[in-house]
Structure 1
Amino acid sequence: MEKHRKCVVVTGFGPFGEHAVNASWVAVQELEKAGLQDGINLHVYEVPVEYQTVQRLIPDLWMKHNPELIVHVGVSGMATMVTLEKCGHNKGYLGLDVRQFCPDTECCVDGGPECLHSVIDIDTVCKKATEAELDVQFTVSTDAGRYLCDFTYYTSLYKSQGKSVFIHVPPLGKPYTASQLGRALQIIINTILDMLEQSEDQITCHQKH
């Protein structure tokens, strides 16, 4: 009997503001071309920079795919490295989206905790990605920016009990090419999948004893 193939969902964002071409979606498309490790079904989605769409779409993706992991990718004009975000924040959403909307409550989930962390060990992922010796630099952050990136991450962490990751990429050419960013995403996600498999193996091993 064929082993059930695991599924990973990766999202990038559509255009907004000065980002007429959003490096995050370009990077995700490069990842789609390259693929992930054997036995993984990869599904990619472009997410519009709209609060209400995010609130509807993220739970739908979890329900539709029941993935091992969802990885969200966004662009940051301030980033000069590929940046792994540790946590999402619930409050402080004042910036208008592409439809000139922001939540009345200025928060993601009414009554939700102020900060949610990924269950993935982001520091270890960053260390292992760096050890892969790509021509890309990686770093870790605890502030995803209180705009659609942070909003998406918190929404996803809340829905997934922490089985989400958010990655910020710099704009294209500042300094990395699309293919470099795609390869960086591939390394990060394969690293996380290996770590999840190891932790699953350890749980199975403990259950057998």
Structure 2
Amino acid sequence: MILLTGFEPFGGATINPSWAAARSAARLLAGDGHDVQAVELPCVFGASARALEDAVERFRPELVLCAGQAGGRARISLERVAINCDDARIPDNAGNQPVDEPVVAGGPAAYFTSLPVKAALAALAAEQIPAEVSQSAGTYVCNHVFYALMHALRRYPDTRGGFVHVPYEDSQLPAGSSAPSLPAPQLAAALAVVVRTALRTTADLRLAAGATH
């Protein structure tokens, strides 16, 4: 079973492309014959992690892919590392604004994804979907959920999981905006490609996809 998640809108926006992409990707994967569930998470510290953990406990998936919006990024960002730090530049949807607080008190400083991000990068390139391996998921609710996921998966050794950031979706932007975006079908296709790659890949590719700064 595959679990996909996206977020509700935040920061005054009316849509969040991560949730639309997760729902559409779930339909694509179901069309492949997979058992898939899509869950919308609140953009709230604490509540988002609990909702995700409840979904993992309920569905017991073999693969979890969480998605969030990274407005301003031009590519699908395959996140490599989740850090144990909440440091919110803006309040979440419940008005919380933690500063320099751990996601999990006493937890490790960081977790690496257990998804094959290099293989996914190559697969996305083959589909002409712009993508990158990202070394930081930020310190807002996306990273909070990514860290909470990897921490929770310690109890499920047969389940792999990770996080993907998506750019703005084209329809979000006003006419004349210079902000990068991608069309909605491409965002959904990207999530489906990542899942399909993970399902058939046990050892990640060894290729350069790091950062110099």
Q: Which residue of 1 aligns with 2:189?
A: 183
Is 1:46 equivalent to 2:40 in the alignment?
yes
Q: Secondary structure at the match of 2:64?
A: strand
Q: Which residue of structure 2 lines up, in the alignment, with residue 155 of structure 1? A: 148
TM-score, normalising length from structure 1? 0.83
Task: Write the letter of the residue equivalent to 2:162.
Answer: V
Aligned length: 190
Aligned 8 A contact 1:93 1:103 in 2: yes
- What does residue 168 of structure 2 align with? 171
Contact 2:169 2:181 (8 Å CA) reproduced: yes
After TM superposition, the structure 1 = structure 2 runs for residues 1-209 of structure 1, keeping only pairs within 5 Å, are 7-36=1-30, 38-95=32-89, 96-103=91-98, 106-131=101-126, 133-134=127-128, 136-161=129-154, 163-173=160-170, 174-196=180-202
Q: Please identify which structure carries the higher helix content.
A: 1
Q: Runs of 5+ in structure 2 lacking a partner?
A: 171-179, 205-213
The TM-score normalised by the length of structure 2 is 0.82
Residue 104 of structure 1 and its aligned partner are, at CA, apart by 7.5
Q: Deviations over 1:129-182 (max 9, x none)?
A: 212x23x21111010010000000000011113821101110111431111111
Q: For residues 26 and 118 of structure 2, what CA distance do their matches in structure 1 show?
A: 25
- Shift of residue 51 of structure 1? 1.0
Give the structure with higher Rg (CA): 1
Question: Pairwise CA RMSD of aligned residues?
Answer: 2.1
> Aligned with 2:133: secondary structure?
strand
Contact 2:18 2:166 in 1 (8 A): yes
Identity among equivalent positions (%) equals 26
